[in-house]
Every structure is written in structure tokens, then in C-alpha cells.
Amino acid sequence: MIRSRFSGTDDLEFIPSCVYDLIFRCHPPPSRQPIPSNSVPTLAATDSGASAKVIDGKLVSKQVKDEVAEEIATMKAATGHVPGLAVILVGSRKDSQTYVRNKKKACEAVGIKSFEVNLPEDATEEEVIEHISEFNNDSSVHGILVQLPLPRHMNEETILGAVNIEKDVDGFHPLNIGRLAMQRRYPLFVPCTPKGCMELLHRYGVEIKGKRAVVIGRSNIVGMPAALLLQKANATVSIVHSNTKNPEEITRQADIVISAVGVANLVRGSWIKPGATVIDVGINPVDDAESPRGYRLVGDVCYEEVSKIASAITPVPGGVGPMTIAMLLSNTLESAKRAYNFK
Amino acid sequence: MIRSRFSGTDDLEFIPSCVYDLIFRCHPPPSRQPIPSNSVPTLAATDSGASAKVIDGKLVSKQVKDEVAEEIATMKAATGHVPGLAVILVGSRKDSQTYVRNKKKACEAVGIKSFEVNLPEDATEEEVIEHISEFNNDSSVHGILVQLPLPRHMNEETILGAVNIEKDVDGFHPLNIGRLAMQRRYPLFVPCTPKGCMELLHRYGVEIKGKRAVVIGRSNIVGMPAALLLQKANATVSIVHSNTKNPEEITRQADIVISAVGVANLVRGSWIKPGATVIDVGINPVDDAESPRGYRLVGDVCYEEVSKIASAITPVPGGVGPMTIAMLLSNTLESAKRAYNFK
């Protein structure tokens, strides 16, 4: 089992040791039933008797990107400006390079101007901050992303804290998180992955107000902000984490489950209340000798079991994954609209 | 029923209408069994068979104040400086004047220098902010408090936002709240009332890690930060609020209950798991013809019923109430220690 990019140290302590040996008995689904790509997402009809509706993140992310592209075209016609997104990559991690490349491509596709800085693994904190400052002062840049993880010799808090809060499209600044937590306060940006989860719930018409929601995992970038968003949408929220003694019992009370813990197939069928909506944020590579890459990706949720009990579920891949980048584009557009006072 | 100073609009919507008529059937307790004022708080022994240990906020707040006074004396001897706390009061609300007077007296008692500004009800936002700026620039002031509520024509967010975060001893700044919410981040100050709740739990040896905790109410100043503090202490936290459909059922699962909703006697005996610890933040005046003042103060918790089921409970008054001011003094001392680099 390899750690997912979303898992924190704390999250990995999550499972009681007695559960470890059970995890790999569950296998990811052999097939899925996505809604046709030209249809409007809805949960009104189910695919088949006992099987959950598949929440199609690829479809929704395409819809979001189309909407963003359209708004950018209108903004450009009205103001002469397009949004700009700067990405700073330190080091040469293969996965980070892939993410950055994908972000660049996604920007180009919707009409966002890309800025990119690549620094060597042994760059200093000062160098990174210098580039951040340049982008902070560049009026054609509306969002600044520092690709994580940073090399170990760098202080993540110091570096992320150098990003101007008005360009913090990642929404990780504590000031944004504080405003997210507070009533009658609103963040400038909402972190992309949890925002993507909420967007999926909204677009599939899942009612949140008054519902019980359980978030599994409390990372700064997914679990915790997802819980704050559900709470702001008037759900009754419980957060399950590495110190929770009876995660299964608590999760089974939820109408909405968001799992962002980074443990393959942790959430079994017995954890889920019949008819619940399940959003699986985990992207966990597990060994697979039959795959040409030697591994395959599975979620935190045992899809095979849970899809028989839930009323709706996100697949992995193709669920939350594609939403993160769509929300990043949406945040960058929002920032540019604020900068140019375009409504 | 009169609104408590802790209740927000949202919190007051809390109770389903069918519960309203039940609330006043519960009366506050005729007598309590506090631990003797010279003893060390402990929950190891119970007072009597079926009755909860009383968590004595008066006793603990006195201990905290004594410790603060001692540290201030040591700091003064070492650095020649004492902490300073500035309070800004706008208007002439009787309750606010009482709070400010009590704060001043408490400051004097422990050796904190008090600064006070009284402005008329019709003062402008600019005038208030001007005074805040003066205190921001005054190195003998380490904490600045703006007494709430402010007159209606003032924007609370703008005014509180003008307080230098290093002097925000109330801990209400969104940057502090954000750091409270995040893992591996720490606020400069923790809001006084929730900090007082945690202090009571700690001093009475109540284990938090791994326990189920329910916070009733999600106000910016008590409920929400209390939930974040319990979560940081590794409890599994659920927040119950006005949109929660089954508050009783959820609350009954908790080992620790903090109620901060501002509704007299809302939390009945049937809401509580036997042996739970109950912290009652509500201070609700209810009509009482027999009292010389025409009202008496009761908590959110039906003490008479709950004290028979819980293992420990805070009374109202004399529970959380006295802790708030003790924590304010403690925050002011912390701030001064940082300013003078005194450890």
C-alpha cells in the first residue's frame, strides 16, 4: 500500500490494526454505470435495483470547465483581460511534474494564461519566496500555486504564507480557513478538492441542510475544510479520524460520507447507511501485478460493497479527482473577476 | 425567555417547536455540592451515589488567577514590565458596563494595568478605529478588547479586524480561528470562553483524546471554537445546531457535551449518556417573580435532571462563567510574555 497524496501522518494512523488484514479482501469494481456524458446529472432515477447512481466527476468537471471557458470569453470581450495562473514547482518529482503539466493544459483549454517557474530540488526558501513576490506584484497573475510537497528543507508554512491572500487560489491560507469556519464570514477562496466534493453534491441535487454528514480524515487540505463546508451548508457534521474508536458506527449514521483518509478500501459496506451518498476522495495506488504499471488506483471506499448500499457514489478514478483541477480554474476566474471588477 | 449573551440568531432557531413547551418544566437545582474551596479538583471520587461531581468554575478560576498573579510578579521582577489590557466600550448598556467594570477589577487583582476608553452610543466607526490604532501602537498595551455588542450602525467585522492580531486577546480574528482549525498550526490566542471550558476539563482530569464530544451551538465566539479545540485535543466531535434533526439522539452518544446555545434548560436528562461530562456555557435569564431582580439565571442544561445522569457537570452560575475572565487574564499575560520574550 502506497500513501495517497491526500493522506497526512495522522490520517494513516487511522485504522485499528485488527482492520488491516480485512482491507484487501475488498476489490475495486469490475465495471461502472456512468450517466451518459450528454445528460444532466440527477439522482432522481437509479441505474438498477440495488446499485448506486455513479456520480460522474469527469462529466461534471467538463461542465464546470465549459462554463469557466464561456465566462472567460465574455470577460475578455468586455475587459480585454484573461485570468492568469502561476505555478511554482520545486524539484523533479514525477507526480508533481504530471500535475503541473495537467494544470497547464487545463488552463490553456479554458483560456487562462499560464505562468510557470521550475526550481531545482536544492533551491533555497528565499528563491521560492522571491518568485512568489514577483507573481504577487504582477497584475496579470490572479492565482499563485506552489506545488506540494516541497523539498524537506523548506518550511511549507512560511512559503505558502508568502502568497498574497488575494491570489491564494488554493484557499489554504489560515485567514481563508478561519473565514470558512466562521458564520457570516466568507473566504476569498475555498480549497479546490473539498469545493469539488460540494459541487458534485450540488450538481447531483443531494440535499445537505439538516442531513447527518461524516467526514473521514481531517487533513488541512481536504478533510477539515470539507467538514467546514458541510457545516456552512447546515449539515450536522462529525469528523472521524485516527483517534476515533468506533469509526464504523459513526459513519453508519451519515446521510453523506466524504472520505479523505488515504487508506485503500477502508470504508466497507457495513460502514454505510442504506441510501447514503458517498464521496470518495482517496486515490490510493495498490500493487497489481496484472497492470502494466504494476499498480492500480483505488479509493478509500470499497466500491464493490458500498455501491450496493449507497444511493450515490463517486468512482475512483473519475470521481472527485477531475473536480480538483476544475475548481482551481473556477477559483482563478473568480480572482480575476474580482481584480477587474467584472460580475 | 431572554436571549443569553452567547446566543446567535442561528442558535436560537435551534429547538424544534414541539420541544418549546417542554423546556420550562425543568427547574434549576435547589442546591449543589461544590468541592471544598481548598481542595484540588478531581473527578476520582464522586460526591454521592447518583449525583454528578460539580465542576467548580469559581474554584478553578481562582486557581488560574492566582497562577497568573504569581507569574506577573515574577515577570515584573525580571523585566520591570507588567501586562496591559485596553477595553473599549461604546454606548451605555448596563450589562456591558458591568462586564467592563469586572474586567478592570480582575486586572487590578492580578497586576495587569487597565486602559479604558468609553465612547458615546453615537460615536463613529472611525473614532473607535482611531482608539484601536492608538492601542495597537502603545507598547505597554498587550491586549485590546472591544466590548460587544457594538451599536447597530457599526460593522463588527471592520472594527474587530482593526485590532492588531498580536493583541487580539479575544482570539476572534479569523487568522486565529484558521490556525485553530488547522493541524500543525497554532493560534496566538484561543477565545476565552471555549478555552475556559477546556481548562475545566483538563483540571478535572477529564480524558478527551478518543472520546466522543458533542458541541451544541456553533457561534463564532463559543460553539465553533470549542468544537475546534476538542478536535485539536483528538476527540471525535459532532456539532449540533438549529438545523439538526435529532439533537437528543446525537448528544446522547457523547462522553463530553459542551452546550453553548442560549436556550434555558434545553438539554434534558434524556439527552445525556450516563457518566458523561457536561459543560454548560449558557447563561439564560428566565422570569422569576420570587427573585428580587424579577429573574434568575439558568443554563442551557436542565441541571436537576442531568446532574443525576452525568458524572460531572458545571453549575450555572459558578461554572464556565468565572472562567472566561480568568482566561482573558491568562491570554493577556501570554501576550505580554511574547512581547518581552519572557518565558
**ipTM, two decimals:** 0.87
B99 and B13 in a common domain: no
Q: What is the pLDDT of residue A21?
A: 31
Q: What is the pLDDT of residue B128?
A: 98
* Exposed / middle / buried, residue A152 (Cβ in 10 Å: 0-12, 13-18, 19+): exposed
The average pLDDT across A62-78 equals 98
As a whole number, the mean pLDDT across chain B is 89
CATH of the domain at A137: 3.40.50.10860
Size of interface A-B (CB pairs under 8 A): 103
Q: B65 or A343, which is more confident?
A: B65
Q: What is the pLDDT of residue A16?
A: 36
CATH of the domain at B229: 3.40.50.720
Q: What's the grid cell of residue A341?
A: 471588477
Q: Is residue B74 part of a domain?
A: no
Q: Under DSSP, is residue A256 helix (H, G, I), strand (E, B) or coil?
A: strand
The average pLDDT across B284-302 equals 95
Q: Is residue A317 part of a domain?
A: yes
Catalytically active residues of A, by annotation: 103, 147, 170
The average pLDDT across B3-32 equals 38
Q: Is residue A197 part of a domain?
A: no
Residues of B in contact with A176 (CB under 8 A): 178
Residues of B in contact with A218 (CB under 8 A): 183, 231
CB A56 within 8 A of CB A35: yes
Residues of A in contact with B149 (CB under 8 A): none
Q: Which of A157, A181, A210 sits opposite B181 (nearest CB)?
A: A181
Q: CB neighbours (10 Å) of residue A149?
A: 13
Q: What is the pLDDT of residue A42?
A: 55
Alpha carbons A262 and B33: distance in angstroms, whole number:
49
**Residue among B11, B53, B65, B103 flagged as catalytic:** B103
Say yes or no for a CB contact (<8 Å) between A210 and B245: yes
Over the stretch B208-231, which tens digit does the pLDDT of each residue have? 999 999 999 999 999 999 999 999
A178 touching chain B per CB within 8 A = yes
CB B182 within 8 A of CB B231: no
B256 and B221 in a common domain: yes
- Most B CBs within 10 Å: which of A238, A245, A250, A256, as the mutation test of the B interface? A238
Query: DSSP class of residue A157?
Result: H
Q: What is the pLDDT of residue A6?
A: 37
B9 touching chain A per CB within 8 A = no
Q: What is the pLDDT of residue B18?
A: 31
Q: CB neighbours (10 Å) of residue A286?
A: 17
A317 and A208 in a common domain: yes
B157 and B111 in a common domain: yes
B118 touching chain A per CB within 8 A = no
Alpha carbons B207 and B153: distance in angstroms, whole number:
45
Q: Which of A181, A235, A241 sits opposite B178 (nearest CB)?
A: A181
B231 and B310 in a common domain: yes
B109 and B37 in a common domain: no
Residue A20's pLDDT band, with cuts at 50, 70 and 90, is very low
B143-146/A143-146 β-pairing: unpaired
Which of these three, B140, B164, B188, is where a domain ends?
A: B164
Q: Which of A174, A240, A245 sits opposite B179 (nearest CB)?
A: A174
- Most A CBs within 10 Å: which of B173, B175, B261, as the mutation test of the A interface? B175
Q: Which of A260, A263, A207 lies closest to A230 in space, CA to CA?
A: A207
Q: Is residue A212 part of a domain?
A: yes
Say yes or no for a CB contact (<8 Å) between A236 and B245: yes
% of chain B at pLDDT higher than 90: 84
% of chain A at pLDDT higher than 90: 84
Alpha carbons A242 and A13: distance in angstroms, whole number:
5
B7 touching chain A per CB within 8 A = no
Residues in contact with A340: Cβ distance below 8 Å, sequence separation at least 6, in sequence order:
A75, A79, A81
The average pLDDT across A257-281 equals 98
Over the stretch A113-167, which tens digit does the pLDDT of each residue have? 999 999 999 999 999 999 999 999 999 999 999 999 999 999 999 999 999 999 9
Q: Is residue B64 part of a domain?
A: no
Q: Is residue A303 part of a domain?
A: yes
**pLDDT at B44 > cutoff 50:** no
Say yes or no for a CB contact (<8 Å) between A185 and B174: yes
Over the stretch A80-111, which tens digit does the pLDDT of each residue have? 999 999 999 999 999 999 999 999 999 999 99
% of chain B at pLDDT higher than 70: 85
Q: What is the pLDDT of residue A5?
A: 39
Over the stretch A290-341, which tens digit does the pLDDT of each residue have? 999 999 999 999 999 999 999 999 999 999 999 999 999 999 999 999 999 9
Q: What is the pLDDT of residue B50?
A: 60
Counted residue by residue, chain A has a size of 343
B309 and B209 in a common domain: yes
Cite the beta strand spans of A120-188 per DSSP E: 143-146
Q: Is residue B66 part of a domain?
A: no
B256-259/B212-216 β-pairing: parallel
A153 and A89 in a common domain: yes
CB B290 within 8 A of CB B325: no
Domain count, chain B: 2
As a whole number, the mean pLDDT across chain A is 89
Candidate ranges B25-29, B38-42, B252-256; pick with highest mean pLDDT = B252-256
A310 and A208 in a common domain: yes
Active site residue B147: yes
Q: Is residue B338 part of a domain?
A: no
* Radius of gyration of the CA atoms of chain B, in A: 20
Residue B133's pLDDT band, with cuts at 50, 70 and 90, is very high
A2 touching chain B per CB within 8 A = no
**pLDDT at B175 > cutoff 70:** yes
Say yes or no for a CB contact (<8 Å) between B182 and A177: yes
Residue A233's pLDDT band, with cuts at 50, 70 and 90, is very high
* Torsion region of B315: left, alpha or beta (phi above 0 gives left; psi -120 to 50 gives alpha): beta
The average pLDDT across B323-330 equals 98
A157 and A108 in a common domain: yes
**pLDDT at A208 > cutoff 70:** yes
% of chain A at pLDDT higher than 70: 85
Q: Which of A95, A38, A29 lies closest to A62 in space, CA to CA?
A: A38
* Domain ranges, residue A274: 9-55+204-322
A88 and A38 in a common domain: no
Q: What is the pLDDT of residue A31?
A: 42
B29 and B108 in a common domain: no
Which of these three, B164, B184, B216, is where a domain ends?
A: B164
